[in-house]
Amino acid sequence: MVLVSIKNVGFTYAYADEPALSDVSLEIQPGLLYGVVGLNASGKSTLCSLIRGLIPHFHEGALTGTVEILGTNLADWDPAELSRKIGYVFQNPFTQISGVKDTVFEEIALGLENLGVPREEMISRVSQVVAELGLEALIEKNPNGLSGGQRQKVAFASIIAMDADFIVIDEPTSQLDPEASEAVFEIIRDLKRRGKSIILVEHKIDLMAEYADRIIVMKQGRVVMEGDVRDVLTSPVLDEADVPRPEVTELALALENAGRPLSAIPITRAEAHVLVRERLEGLAHAY
């Protein structure tokens, strides 16, 4: 079943002059990781809110077109039910922390508590995600006293603990250092291995090249391309949307333009290593 079907959707936030989404049509298939890329204010977070069903229930405004989530029209979904079906890691972790729990442990357990998960299972699931993200030193702390990066990890942990099959993740590492970002991406890799359906907004294009199955490119509220990660990262559409390519892809395209193409266009460092080694071996044989 198609997870999300969006047809000719436009959305203008209440009191905004310009639409945040214009004529967007998309189908999200299950079991894949969709990366969403585009300049600031191109509509990535608004698309996430739409897919998660927060528009127009939570974010008010004028919505046109049709949206079906898990086969049901958006207007027919109970917002609470939808929040159980789709995990959503907000871009701004300050929005996500509930403010009603006294410790990080309880905060991470809150979603599970709302789902009615038995206490022992709740403790086991929270402990596992705490270990995966290295949050042991924080579990007794008050969530309201955390730094931005700590909040971001806790917000991520609380959604991962809920173990939804469909997860929307909006810039999960914007406030994290490289080591913490790596832990977050390790978990995303694991979610992908476990067949979860994931929508991920992320500016780090090298990570997208490594993790995404498909990429959605946004520009000024429009989806200008949606396709297989390799097709998108080698397409001229990225230039039009001002989205950078992975460095290895840029280099390979420059070599191609200079009349010295590699045998394929790499999108990850690992692929580039293989292709460059192959080229060097070819040169060595030639002399």
Ligand X SMILES: Nc1ncnc2c1ncn2[C@@H]1O[C@H](COP(=O)(O)OP(=O)(O)OP(=O)(O)O)[C@@H](O)[C@H]1O
Contacts with ligand X by CB under 6 A lie at: 13, 16, 20, 38, 40-46, 59, 91
Nearer to ligand X, 17 or 76 (CB): 17
Cα distance from N-terminal residue to C-terminal residue, the chain: 56
Q: How far is the CB of 121 from ligand X (least distance, A)?
A: 35
Nearer to ligand X, 59 or 214 (CB): 59
Q: How far is the CB of 268 from ligand X (least distance, A)?
A: 23
Q: How far is the CB of 282 from ligand X (least distance, A)?
A: 42
Residue 188 has which token pair? 């995303």
Nearer to ligand X, 2 or 41 (CB): 41
What backbone torsions phi and psi does residue 99 show, to the nearest 5 degrees? Answer: 80, 0
Nearer to ligand X, 5 or 220 (CB): 220
Q: How far is the CB of 92 from ligand X (least distance, A)?
A: 9
Nearer to ligand X, 171 or 271 (CB): 171
Cα–Cα distances in Å, from 131 out to 26, 134, 264?
36, 5, 40
Q: How far is the CB of 18 from ligand X (least distance, A)?
A: 6
